[in-house]
Structures are given as C-alpha cells and as structure tokens.
Structure 1
Amino acid sequence: MPRRILITGATGNQGGSVARLLLQSPSDFTVRALTRNPNSEAAKALKEAGAEVVKGDLTDRNSLGAAFNGCWGAFVATNFYDSTITNDPASEETQGRHAAHAALQAGVECFVWSTLPSSLEISKGKVLCEIYEGKHRVDSYIQEIGLPAAFVFTGNFYENQVFRSHVVEYDDHIEFKQPIIKGDVKLHMLWVERDLAAIVKAILTRWETTREELLYQHLYAMDAVRTPHEICAIIEQGSNFPPTSEQTKHEDC
C-alpha cells in the first residue's frame, strides 16, 4: 500500500520538486500537499497531477494537526524569502517547531527536515546568521521530542540564478550578480528539481531498512563545488552570446 507523505511548501521550489517526483511513483507514495492557498495555480496543478491539497499554515500550530494525521512520512521546508515574513528571521524556527510537534502527535514515522548548519560552528564563533541558527535549533528540538527524522543540508540553489535574479539577460549581454560572495569562493551547488527531490525520495524509500543509519543524520544535498567565476563560464557556454573580452570580465563583489 502506498504511503502518504505530507509536503510543506509544495507550491514552492523545494516542496514542489519533492511532490512532483513522488507523484511519479503512485504505487509507493501518495502526496498530501500543504498550502495556505489551495486555489493558487500551483496548488491546482498539484491536484490535477494527483496530489491531495490541504489548507494549512506553518505559522499557525492549530492548522497542522489534521494535515499531518494519517501520514507515514513528511518533507518539511521553510522559506526565508516568504513574502509574509517581515523582519522576523525567527519565524522559520517557529514554523519548524510547529511542524515537528504536529508530526509527533500524528505518529509520523519518517520526518525529513530541510535545514542548514550552524553558522557559529562553521565560523568558530565569528559569524552569527540567524537564518542558519534558527533552522539548526530545530534539529535539536526534533531530537529532544523523539520525532524520527533525517536532516538534509541544502547547498546553493542553481534555480536561484533565475528565481532570485542572480542572472539577468539583456539584449546584448548577460549579467551575473551574487552579492557579498567573491568570485573565487567555492560554493556547494544544488539542482533542487533533480537532486534534492531524488535525495528525499531515497530517504523515504529506504527508511525502514536503513533507519538506524539515517536517524538524526545530516545529509548534504549537493551535486558540485563551483565558484561564481565557474558558474559564469558555464552560463556563457550555454548562452546565445559569443564570448568577448568584455562579456567574460568577472568582478568580485
């Protein structure tokens, strides 16, 4: 019998990629997509593809119980770029805690949490990024309450070249903009649609046979290590503009 998987952010990048992939295996999984707006075009497309679309909001703990009930597994991702989050980096931590609590109450057996490493640990105390720390604290909370889970660190999204306008095409050239990061910094890159979805599906598929190996482990979702200069070169190769000395000029931010 197929297992029901609740997916948050199912109309977005991460959740949407997982939902679309799982829907291709109806004998193994059924998809319950959580969204604040079941009438959106993205939600309607998921429903047409075979997903059960339910209304809920990770910021509203009371709206999550029914959504998680009856689900064997879950993939939960929060979104710092959510337009409803205004000057509140802690919102993601609150959302993660709400989801974990609801999943525990519903008896979810495999909770896959999209998270980030601790900025303090990575920088040895030199950098504090609350976006990272909030998600990282949810990792500890999940373990404290005893919710069976695996954690997925996400690399830098290739999709952000388009979604966050890091790459903009003009009539005669392409501009690459990625603030703060220098051109020679090595980045762990991730193609969300293909790579993240496949990793999450593998966790869900193998959970029962490899649970002890995966339980509370951090898995790094990435497919390559590249610098911004290398990414520029790849974009140039795939563009319609022949390289020139001006177009291939790279400037560190």
Structure 2
Amino acid sequence: MARIIAVCGATGNQGGSVAKLLLRYPDLYRVRALTRDPQSAAAQQLVQLGAEVVQADLTVTLNVKEALRGCWGVFGVTNFYDSKIKDDPGSEEQQGKNLVDAALDNGVECFVWSTLPSSEKLSGGRLISRVYEGKHHVDGYILEKNLPAVFLYTGNFYENLVYRSHMTYDRERDVLEFRQPIIKETTELAMLYVQKDLSAVTKAIFDHWDGRKDELNHQYLYVANARVAPRDVLASVKKLTGKEGTYHVIPTTGVPDRDIMFRLYNETGMYGIKVLPDENISKLGVEMHGVDDFVKEVLAPHLGLPLL
C-alpha cells in the first residue's frame, strides 16, 4: 500500500520539488500537500497531478495535528518569507515545533527536516541570524523528543537566480547583469539545484528508510553539490551561451536577519570544510547536479538565451 507523505510548503520551491517527484511514484507514495491556500493556482496544479491538498497553518496546533493524521512520512520546512515569520521571526521556531509535536502525536515514522546550523556557533557569537537559529532550535527539539528524523542542511538555491531576479539580460547592451545582496563576487556558496536534488535526496531517504533506519536516523545530510561563487555562475553562463556579464553587490536584502546571514557567508562560508557533494548522499544513490546543469536547463531558457 502506498504510504502517505505530508509535504509542507508544497506550493513553494522546496516542498513543491518534493511533492512533484513523489507524485511520479503513486504505487509507493500518496502526497498530502499542506498549504494555507488550497485554492491557489499552484495548489490546484498539484491536485491535477494527483495530490491530496489540505489546508494547514503551521501556527495553529490542532490544524497541523489533523493535517498529519495517517501520515507515514513528512517533509518539513518553514519559510522565512512567510509573512507571519517576517513580522515575528520567533514564529519560525514555533511553527517547526508545532510540526514536530503533530508528527509525534500521529506516530510519523520518517520525518525529513530542512534546516540550517547555528549562525551563533559558526561565527563565534558575532553574527546571529534568526533565519538560522529558528531552524537550528527545532533540530534540538527533534532530538529531545526522539522523533525519527533526518536533517537536511540545504545549500543556497540556484533557483533564486530566477525567482528573485538576481540575473537579467539587457538585450540592447547584450550583457548579463547579476545583482545580489551583500554577497561578494568571490564568496563561495554551497549551491543547491532544489528541483532536481532536494527532491531526489528526500525521496531516497523515504525509499531507504525501512532498511537503513538505524544509519539514517538523526543523520545530517549536506544537500549541496559544490561551492560556487557568483563569478563562477557568470563563467558558466558565458561558456554555455557566449554572453558576458557583470556582477553588482546590492547593499541590503531589506530584511536584517537575511543581511546577517549573507554577511556570515562572506566571513565564514557555508558549512566549513565539509567536502561536497556529501559522501552520505552518494551512498543513497543520488547524483547531484551543478551550475552548468542549472544554466542549461533553467537559467538560459528563462533569460531567452540559446545555448552554443
């Protein structure tokens, strides 16, 4: 019998990638897509693909508990851009804990949690971003409650080049313009192709859970292919399309906690000296994708640039 997987943020980038991949395997998984607005176009698209879409607000305890009823697995994520979190950053931690409590109450057997390490620890207390700390504190809560879980340290998303319009093409000048807040041209970020790799890693965890639970339980997986600087992205675009580009640093994201996060990247990098791709992801049989893959498959078509 197909197992029910609750997918948080199913109409967003992370959750959407997981939901769409699992929906391709109806003999194995039934997707329960959690969203605040089941009538949205993105939610209705998931219905057309075969998902059960349910209304769920992670700030409402009973709402979350009901949404997870009967679920074998959960993909859990909180969204800092959620208006409730932007207005109250402490809400992100509480949303995560509400999700953990609901998973415990419903006997969820495999909980996959998208998270980040402690910015306070990484920076020696100099740079504390609630974007990081809220998710990190939920890790501790999962361990305290002994919920069966796997932690995913996600990389910086290639998709933000498109979704946040970081890169544009000026046809009149025939030049690419890459604008990004705070990040220096030489800062190497651990990069993740969400639609291809976050979804594949999550499915692999669910696929292997029965046989490798003892190994996977409470393991941290670094879901990023490589460390890539903005200048490397521009070099990839030039190699594949022939187009030159310029990089511009924007002074702020407009959100103080995200500014701190990007300053942390400039000063400490992402994930220290961890070798990428993570050997433990390779053991799951997942082959990660890199900058050239994203440029060919998504960025160049988005910009209207033919490949060489």
| Residue type at the aligned position of 1:175 | E
Confirm or deny: 8 A CA contact 1:35 1:55 kept in the other structure: yes
Structure 1 window deviating more from structure 2 (168-177 vs 47-56): it is 168-177
The change in CA–CA distance for 1:49 and 1:250 in structure 2 (over 3 A counts) is closer
| Residue type at the aligned position of 1:179 | P
Confirm or deny: 8 A CA contact 2:7 2:31 kept in the other structure: yes
1:29 counterpart residue number: 29
Q: 1:1-253 to 2 correspondence within 5 Å?
A: 1-171=1-171, 172=173, 173-239=175-241, 242-243=243-244, 247=245, 249-250=246-247
The change in CA–CA distance for 1:250 and 1:63 in structure 2 (over 3 A counts) is closer
C-alpha distance in 2 between matches for 1:232 and 1:33: 36
Residues 33-62 of structure 1: per-residue CA shift (max 9 Å, x gap)? 011111111111101101111111011112
The Cα of 1:103 is off from its aligned counterpart by 0.6
The change in CA–CA distance for 1:63 and 1:200 in structure 2 (over 3 A counts) is same
C-alpha distance in 1 between matches for 2:135 and 2:213: 22
| Residue type at the aligned position of 1:231 | V
C-alpha distance in 1 between matches for 2:99 and 2:93: 10
- Specify the SS of the correspondent of 1:177: strand
- Specify the SS of the correspondent of 1:103: helix
C-alpha distance in 2 between matches for 1:47 and 1:160: 25
Normalising to structure 2: TM-score of the pair?
Answer: 0.77
Residues 57-114 of structure 1: per-residue CA shift (max 9 Å, x gap)? 0111121111101000000111111234333221211110010000100000000010
| Residue type at the aligned position of 2:60 | D
C-alpha distance in 2 between matches for 1:242 and 1:50: 41
- Specify the SS of the correspondent of 1:86: helix
| Residue type at the aligned position of 2:205 | I
| Residue type at the aligned position of 1:229 | R
Percent of pairs with identical residues: 51
C-alpha distance in 1 between matches for 2:98 and 2:249: 40
Structure 2: which 5+ residue stretches go unaligned? 251-308
The Cα of 1:124 is off from its aligned counterpart by 2.4
The Cα of 1:6 is off from its aligned counterpart by 0.3
C-alpha distance in 2 between matches for 1:13 and 1:161: 13
| Residue type at the aligned position of 1:97 | K
Structure 1: which 5+ residue stretches go unaligned? none
C-alpha distance in 2 between matches for 1:238 and 1:101: 47
The change in CA–CA distance for 1:197 and 1:51 in structure 2 (over 3 A counts) is same
The answer to which structure has the higher helix fraction is 2
- Specify the SS of the correspondent of 1:125: coil
The change in CA–CA distance for 1:209 and 1:86 in structure 2 (over 3 A counts) is same
The Cα of 1:21 is off from its aligned counterpart by 0.3
Confirm or deny: 8 A CA contact 2:113 2:151 kept in the other structure: yes
| Residue type at the aligned position of 1:133 | E
C-alpha distance in 1 between matches for 2:198 and 2:188: 20
C-alpha distance in 1 between matches for 2:191 and 2:65: 35
Confirm or deny: 8 A CA contact 1:4 1:29 kept in the other structure: yes
Confirm or deny: 8 A CA contact 2:180 2:249 kept in the other structure: no
C-alpha distance in 1 between matches for 2:83 and 2:166: 18
The change in CA–CA distance for 1:69 and 1:252 in structure 2 (over 3 A counts) is closer
Normalising to structure 1: TM-score of the pair?
Answer: 0.93
Confirm or deny: 8 A CA contact 2:70 2:106 kept in the other structure: yes
The Cα of 1:223 is off from its aligned counterpart by 1.3
The Cα of 1:251 is off from its aligned counterpart by 5.4
C-alpha distance in 1 between matches for 2:132 and 2:154: 11
- Specify the SS of the correspondent of 1:91: helix
C-alpha distance in 2 between matches for 1:43 and 1:211: 32
C-alpha distance in 1 between matches for 2:81 and 2:168: 19
